[in-house]
Amino acid sequence: MINTFPNGVWPVMLTPFTKENEVDYETLSGLIDWYMQRGVSGLFAVCQSSEMFELTREEREKIASFVKNQVNGKIPVIASGHVSDDFGEQLKDVVGMAKQGVDAVVLITNRLAKEAESDEVWKRNTENLLKHIPEDISLGLYECPFPYKRIMSPELLKWCAETGRFYFLKDTSCDIGNIKAKLEAVEGTQLKIYNANSATLLESIKLGAAGYSGIMANFHPELYVWLLKNWHSNLELAESLENFLSISSLIEKQMYPANAKYSLTLDGLTCGLYTRTQDYRQFSLTNQLEINQLYALSNQYKKMVLTPKCHQQERK
């Protein structure tokens, strides 16, 4: 059982695949190093970006164990894999993942009630699940968009926090009003909120959000790391960077995660474009050109914020 998670950037990890459609652990090892070298605070393995709905339970657990072992205690690792519909299978998802040694198992909010069902049904189903999950297993929550997005109400999130079982929320509401109300609801508890949306990130951090856990940490995580560490001491530059991060995040609407894997190759990783959720051959030359342009602009901002001159300005 943990006490708290560190504030900061928590990438939603990709799963590299070989041409034969097997998990590519050699590339995964390099990817883990790539994240850590860029100063992230934790890793969210086995999530939607990891294509968890297309992984077998054995693959999900093996990936989580691999990531946890490689970080070697340097940063925390959380994982989901909570993909099943049936209650008994969900319990296997959660307990099996916990056995891999991860620091928390993340529950998917849309797995705990059907789309048309009320928050009371969600609460009742969650209470039942918690009765069967050993209390020494720390938990998180993820408002996963697939197969439908179930946004937590502030009232329901407060109930979750007060159970003492939940420590992490990956918020995908993209709604600063909703985030503000959630932050107020969990104030004084151990549950922290990590925003997945770039456009509302800086404002949410000002309100007390703990960090960023979103897709764009697979493109330029160090820019998010800088923003979270330095916004208060260099607000003007932080606001300029936020503008860039917000607009560049529209690349999420392109062929993700193939586009993120292509971007990683520009940074020297031998990462193929193979995925299980889409046909990588549809990633066109125009798509590649757009990622090349984003990569060039990202590097301009890296030079702007990650230079000694900039650090001297921050200390003034």
pLDDT digits (tens, 9 = 90+) for 47-90: 999 999 999 999 999 999 999 999 999 999 999 999 999 999 99
With H, G, I as helix, E, B as strand and everything else as coil, classify residue 195: strand
Tokens of 227: 């923003």
Listed by start position, the domains of the chain span: 8-315
Amino acid at the residue 171: D
pLDDT tens for residues 224-279?
999 999 999 999 999 999 999 999 999 999 999 999 999 999 999 988 999 999 99
Confidence tier at 2 by pLDDT (50, 70, 90): low
Residue 140's CB: how many other CB atoms inside 10 A? 27
- Asked if residue 314 has pLDDT above 50, the reply is no
Burial of 94-117, coded b for 16+ CB within 10 Å and e otherwise, reads: bebbbebebbbbbbbbbbbbeeee
Residue 201's CB: how many other CB atoms inside 10 A? 27
The percentage of the chain sitting over the pLDDT mark of 70, rounded to a whole number, equals 96
Facing residues of 104 across strands?
A: 78
- Region 138-164: what's the mean pLDDT? 98
- The pTM assigned to this predicted structure is 0.95
With H, G, I as helix, E, B as strand and everything else as coil, classify residue 83: coil
Write the CATH number of the domain with boundaries 8-315.
Answer: 3.20.20.70
**Nearest residue to 104 via CA among 167, 49, 57, 38:** 167
Contact 210, 193 (CB under 8 A): yes
Q: Which residues contact 270 (CB under 8 A, 6 or more apart)?
A: 27, 30
With H, G, I as helix, E, B as strand and everything else as coil, classify residue 182: helix
**Residue 235: what pLDDT?**
96
- Residue 112 DSSP label: S
**Residue 104: what pLDDT?**
98
Question: For the chain, what is the largest distance between any 2 Cα atoms, rounded to a whole number of angstroms?
Answer: 57
Peptide bond into 147 cis (omega under 30): yes
Mean of the per-residue pLDDT values of the chain: 95
Facing residues of 208 across strands?
A: none
Site of tokens 């097997």: 22
Distance separating alpha carbons of residues 198 and 212, to the nearest angstrom: 8
Residue 257's CB: how many other CB atoms inside 10 A? 26
pLDDT tens for residues 184-233?
999 999 999 999 999 999 999 999 999 999 999 999 999 999 999 999 99
